[in-house]
């Protein structure tokens, strides 16, 4: 292809369309006449391929508008969330979403996760994983097409390109133009905006890990932790590089997810497809007007290729570069409307639906593809984990007691012949306020008393009240004493009972043993 023609009317890779069934490997292959001579790159062979910048054309349509919506919502969530305040009283931070690594707490609105509850995070990660399976089997690579950060930021940077350099053809021209002062100025301005967006992205990330307003001040006055600056630097760099320059290369070569999804798609998965039985033989309107019988609906305008953010030709069939964003559907529908042919030459459909349609069956609505066992099973598993997590979250107590008895010495004989055992008690107060908690002995013989490292032995009693600071685990060394004269050689099983002395009256029990001296007579 001549360069001039390339600019005006981009060509796909110049091959006839892939057969539907061929994609599934059943029917005979169409002989193809590909030419690789164009791609000759490094060292005169095609061992390495020179990067080709994708200059995707602007398009409007339902999918583009949906993409806008998802982009704005996800970016808004990302940038705004750390700045939402959430009053938790004087003993806890007032940031709605905060991953407090230093104090090992994770705050999310009304939910506070402690390290021992990390299974909530693990559960959410499992849900995210199964959620991706669910979405993939339901609507194909919707994650890749709309919500993946790489997609969202690539989209942002492509809009920046458009703002500075114009639409597709203008950008292609500028790319090929010599480095004049004006081009240098444009590129500098554009890359400065890239850098600003990248910096803002990196800067927003660290706000999740500390009080956002304080950290912002600290950051600009040079008082933030070195790790904060390093994180911002790294994320600024990766956003600038991956979003500004690597773009679709990330999806095609770096990301494992497309490869995994390849294994998860089948004939019943919704994908973006070109209905070749309707579109072939491709031909311009002029050609088609001469020989209407020989040509299909595709007028070979290449709009679907021009608008594609990863630069693929969807007419070749499902492929690793297709992120299923639907922009080619918008483009094709628009063209079909202009030439007066029905929409949906490129559309969301399953391979099975296409096969049926090609065989003459009426078109099935795309949503029917959602009604299949696999999706219900994924949804069931996903929902069950979610329900389990919610149940655990709703029923968890904010009080916990663990007891570890002293092993050496296991018991202690005192002057008056009474026997003392020592225990380390850990009283956990997960409320964001200090609470008094009562520790009581249950199941020991009459006369058993306890005291702690903070309560003198003179004040020993069957129960003790311990003040536990807000949001803390208080470690207390407790002594339990049995009066002399209890004739028992074995150790005694008993229970510590913890009760919060507030309106909640939360309790927790901890079983342990009381060791007795062996009879030496």
Partner 1 sequence: MVNKRIDQPTGTETVGHEWDGIEELNTPLPRWWLWTFYATIAWALVYVVLYPAWPLIDKATAGTLGWSSRGDLAREMSAAEAARQGVFKQIAATDIEALGNNPELMAQAIAGGAAAFKVNCVQCHGAGAAGSAGYPNLNDDDWIWGGTLSEIEYTITHGIRWEGADATRANYMPAFAGVIEGAQVDAVTGHVLSLSGKAKPNPAGAQLFADNCAACHGASGEGMVAMGAPALNDAIWLFGGTAADVKKQILAPRHGVMPAWNERLDPVTIKMLAAYVHSRGGGQQAAPVALEAATTGDVAQTPKAETDG
Compose the 3-42 pattern: x for residues touching partner 1 by CB under 8 A, - for all others: ------------x-------------x-xxxx-x--x-xx
d(CA 160, CA 195): 11
Of positions 102, 408, 487, 489, contacts partner 1 by CB under 8 A: 408
The residue within the footprint of partner 1, chosen from 45, 221, 395, 446 (CB under 8 A), is: 45
Is residue 447 part of the contact set for partner 1 (CB under 8 A)?
A: no
Stated as kind and residue range, the H or E segment containing 389 is helix 373-395
Decide: 476 and 454 in contact? Cβ < 8 Å. Answer: yes
Any contact of residue 138 with partner 1 (CB under 8 A)? no
Q: Is 467 near partner 1 (CB under 8 A)?
A: yes
User: Do residues 400 and 508 lie in contact, with contact meaning Cβ atoms separated by under 8 Å?
Assistant: yes
Interatomic CA distance for residues 457 and 52, integer angstroms: 81
Q: Among 285, 289, 384, 413, which residue interacts with partner 1 (rule: CB under 8 A)?
A: 413
Tell me the closest approach of the beta carbon of residue 423 to partner 1, in angstroms.
11
Is there a contact between 403 and 498 (Cβ–Cβ < 8 Å)?
no
The answer to whether residue 500 forms part of the interface with partner 1 (CB under 8 A) is no
H/E/C letters for each residue in 142-193? Answer: HHHHHHCHHHHHHHHHHHHHHHHHCCHHHHHHHHHCCCCHHHHHHHHHHHHH
Bond prior to 265 in cis (omega within 30° of 0)? no
Q: Which stretch binds partner 1 (CB under 8 A): 81-89, 224-232, 464-472, 493-501?
A: 464-472
Number of residues binding to partner 1, judged by CB under 8 A: 47
Binding segment for partner 1 (CB under 8 A), chosen from 68-76, 103-111, 329-337, 463-471, is 463-471
- Nearer residue to partner 1 within complex by CB, 117 or 406: 406
* 40 vs 390, beta carbon nearer partner 1: 40
Angle between helix 212-220 and 181-206 (nearest 10):
130
Distance CA 474, CA 297 (A): 75
Is residue 511 a contact point for partner 1 (CB under 8 A)?
Answer: no
Q: Residue 23 or 96: which CB sits closer to partner 1?
A: 23
Task: Return the range that interacts with partner 1 (CB under 8 A); candidates 146-154, 231-239, 323-331, 409-417.
Answer: 409-417
Q: How far apart are CA 439 and CA 467, in angstroms?
A: 11
Q: Which of 49, 60, 175, 511 binds partner 1 (CB under 8 A)?
A: 49
Site for partner 1 contains 238 (CB under 8 A): no
Residue length of the chain: 521
* Cβ neighbours around 110 below 10 Å, total: 9
To the nearest whole angstrom, how small is the minimum distance from the Cβ of residue 407 to partner 1? Answer: 8
- CA separation for the pair 12, 164 (Å, rounded): 26
Cβ at position 29, least distance to partner 1 in Å: 5
- Residue 259 makes contact with partner 1 by CB under 8 A: no
Residue 409 within binding range of partner 1, rule CB under 8 A? yes
The three state secondary structure string of 184-249 is HHHHHHHHHHHHHHHHHHHHHHHHHHCCHHHHHHHHHCCCCCHHHHHHHHHHHHHHHHHHHHHCHH
Q: Does position 51 bind partner 1 by CB under 8 A?
A: yes
141 binds partner 1 (CB under 8 A): no
CA 164 to chain centre: 31
Q: Is 488 in the site for partner 1 (CB under 8 A)?
A: no
Decide whether 89 or 484 has the Cβ nearer to partner 1.
484
50 part of the interface to partner 1, by CB under 8 A: yes
Closer residue to partner 1, CB minimum distance, 46 or 377: 46
Q: Per rule CB under 8 A, is residue 253 in the interface with partner 1? A: yes
What's the chain's Rg over C-alpha atoms? Answer: 34
Of 71-79, 284-292, 335-343, 401-409, the segment contacting partner 1 by CB under 8 A is 401-409
Nearest to 512 by CA among 478, 488, 484, 485: 478
Pick from 423, 425, 502, 431: which is nearest to 472 by CA?
431
Q: Rounded to whole angstroms, how far apart are CA atoms 182 and 173?
A: 13
- Give Cα separations from 196 to 62, 173, 386 (angstroms): 30, 26, 38
Residue from 255, 264, 301, 455 touching partner 1 (CB under 8 A): that is: 455
Q: How far is the CB of 318 from partner 1 (least distance, A)?
A: 15
414 binds partner 1 per the rule CB under 8 A: yes
Shortest Cβ distance from residue 420 to partner 1 (Å)? 7
- Binding residues for partner 1, rule: CB under 8 A, are 15, 29, 31-34, 36, 39, 41-42, 45-51, 246, 249, 253, 406-409, 412-417, 420, 422, 452-457, 459, 464-467, 477, 479, 484, 520
């Amino acid at each position: 292809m001549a360069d001039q023609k390339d600019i005006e009317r981009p060509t796909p890779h110049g091959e006839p369309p892939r057969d539907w069934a061929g994609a599934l490997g059943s029917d005979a292959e169409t002989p193809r006449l590909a030419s690789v001579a164009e791609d000759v790159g490094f060292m005169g062979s095609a061992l390495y391929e020179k990067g080709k910048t994708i200059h995707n054309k602007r398009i409007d349509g339902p999918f583009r508008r949906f993409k806008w919506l998802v982009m704005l919502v996800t970016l808004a969530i990302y940038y705004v969330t750390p700045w939402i305040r959430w009053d938790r009283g004087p003993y806890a931070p007032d940031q709605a979403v905060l991953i407090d690594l230093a104090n090992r707490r994770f705050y999310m609105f009304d939910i506070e996760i402690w390290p021992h509850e990390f299974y909530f995070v693990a559960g959410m990660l499992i849900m995210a994983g199964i959620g991706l399976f669910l979405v993939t089997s339901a609507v194909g690579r919707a994650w890749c097409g709309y919500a993946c950060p790489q997609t969202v930021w690539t989209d942002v940077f492509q809009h920046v390109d458009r703002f500075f350099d114009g639409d597709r053809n203008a950008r292609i021209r500028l790319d090929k133009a010599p480095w004049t002062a004006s081009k240098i100025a444009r590129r500098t301005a554009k890359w400065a905006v890239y850098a600003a967006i990248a910096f803002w992205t990196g800067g927003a990330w660290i706000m999740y890990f500390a009080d956002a307003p304080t950290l912002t001040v600290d950051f600009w006055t040079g008082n933030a932790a070195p790790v904060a600056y390093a994180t911002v630097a790294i994320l600024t760099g990766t956003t600038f590089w991956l979003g500004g320059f690597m773009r679709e290369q990330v999806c095609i070569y770096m990301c494992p997810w497309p490869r995994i999804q390849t294994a998860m798609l089948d004939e019943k998965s919704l994908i973006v497809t070109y209905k070749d039985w309707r579109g072939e033989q491709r031909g311009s309107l002029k050609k088609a007007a001469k020989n209407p019988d020989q040509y299909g609906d595709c007028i070979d305008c290449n709009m679907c290729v021009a608008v594609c953010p990863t630069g693929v030709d969807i007419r070749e069939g499902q492929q690793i570069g297709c992120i299923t964003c639907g922009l080619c559907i918008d483009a094709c529908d628009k063209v079909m409307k202009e030439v007066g042919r029905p929409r949906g030459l490129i559309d969301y459909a399953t391979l099975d639906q296409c096969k049926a349609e090609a065989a003459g069956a009426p078109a099935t609505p795309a949503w029917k593809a959602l009604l299949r066992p696999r999706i219900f099973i994924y949804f069931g598993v996903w929902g069950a984990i979610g329900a389990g997590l919610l149940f655990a979250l709703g029923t968890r107590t904010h009080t916990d007691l663990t007891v570890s008895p002293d092993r050496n010495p296991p018991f202690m004989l005192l002057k008056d012949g009474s026997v003392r055992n020592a225990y380390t008690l850990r009283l956990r107060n997960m409320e964001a306020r200090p609470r008094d908690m009562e520790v009581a002995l249950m199941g020991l013989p009459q006369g058993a008393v306890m005291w702690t490292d903070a309560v003198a032995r003179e004040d020993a009693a069957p129960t003790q009240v311990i003040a536990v600071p807000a949001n803390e685990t208080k470690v207390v060394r407790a002594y339990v004493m049995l009066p002399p004269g209890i004739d028992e050689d074995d150790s005694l099983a008993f229970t510590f009972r913890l009760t919060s002395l507030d309106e909640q009256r939360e309790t927790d029990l901890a079983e342990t043993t009381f060791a007795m001296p062996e009879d030496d007579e």
